[in-house]
Structure 1
Amino acid sequence: MNKDATHLPQKASPVLVKQANIFADLPAKLIEDFQQEFQLDEWYKGDYFNPALLTQRFFVVIDGSLEIKQSNPETGREATLDMLYAGDCFDLMVLLDDQPHEVIVSPLTRVKLLSVKLSTMRHWLWTYPEFNQQFMPYLAKKMREKEQQASSLVLHDVTTRLSRIILEHINKIKFYNGTIEAEHQHHLVNGLNDETLARMTGSVRQVINKQLQHWKKEGTLDKKRNQLIIKDLEALVKEAKYTETLPNAPFFKP
């Protein structure tokens, strides 16, 4: 990334604060108090993010998407640790243990964020039980995601892992104009190119591209640049081989 992240000298409004899942259901008075401490930031794809900021401020994504990854300086190989979307927070690890976290934060799109001092965020967690009750389920959800990610790397092949990742990051096409009966079959995944999907899957770009081309030939999906259009959702769910109701598993009923 070749540009410095842009930090806007703006304060956040209560409306923006409520867009974050961990704040959404808090009493209005508490949100008004909290919003006084937030800074509104805006980053663009290609911006450089200094990971040292993670030891100073806690971030909440309001709009756009981010990739959190690590790299091996000797081989240059990278692995995706997390994909963050509107409502997600980072860095939870630094918040909890106050230790540096060597990660690469890559905006995949134009991103709007709220940020607050880490010390302030910890104070809120210790002081306000109603906030703690909102935060802990989100923390548990992220922990389960990491557990599932780790087990999937060991227990499942690339095809299964890739299908699960696509299902987890799927977004329904907003401009679908086909028949109502077929609406459920058309879904969209934006911003995930072959290289990104390879990092998320723990594979390499060539293997991912081969699998996507196979699904394209079978009519399961269509592939256009950084966009995947899912045409046969039921087939993709079958490839995911879900055998139990996991808390974060995206079960669809075509």
Structure 2
Amino acid sequence: MEMLQQLHLAAQYLATSGISFLEKKADDSHTNLGFSIDKARLETWPLDSTGTQLFLNYREFALAWSSAEELTMDLRGKGHEEVVTWLKKTSEQLGLPSYHFDLHYSLPYSMDDNFKFELSNADQVEHLIQSRTLAQQALASFLEKEELVSEIRIWPHHFDTGAFTALNDGSGKSIGLGMAIPDTLVDDLYLYISGYRGHDALRTWAFKSLTRGKWVNDAFKGAVLPVSGLTKDMAVQFFQEALARYKNLE
């Protein structure tokens, strides 16, 4: 999916703003991003004491600062170095420290000297907005129904919408869940949930099957469900049904 790759690459400018301007956290959470459903955009954490943020607007395919000045860059036709130069200049205008593009992880695709950002497929962008929205709403509803607490954030390395929370049943178990982008496990955007005790993933080979989705017990141990065709209620049911298995209720 071409636009997924383009947006994943563009999100790295937000991640590197977190790296450039925020105190490093051991879990890398200073790099993770929020998603505004109303504005269809990714958002950094506040980057200074005045609340300055950098946004990536999906539909406009543009970077923008949350400043009084109109500081926006349309990404269409821009190369990587052009974007970096703009970020260095505009962050300086805003009184931020020096911006630098320096990732400490690798991505499945790269930007060479010939790379240009292009808004090649607006329908794909709308599908990605709808999928992020579905994932975020389903996670929020699930957490509320189960009386669990977690932030819902997008992690720029794997570009997943994710949550992580300890169970409140005294079992010492925790769950990680969210929506992942296509990979070797599923050739589609997909929901996932996995259980842990400490740092160890709980094995799923003996779990009862799910109404939707399937259990995996290989390198990844958990349940997966492609997003295509799902409603929010279906997604919540998937998470709740999987949680019930982890809690040994069924």
TM-score, with structure 2 as normaliser? 0.31
Q: Which has the higher helix share?
A: 1
| TM-score (norm. length: structure 1) | 0.31
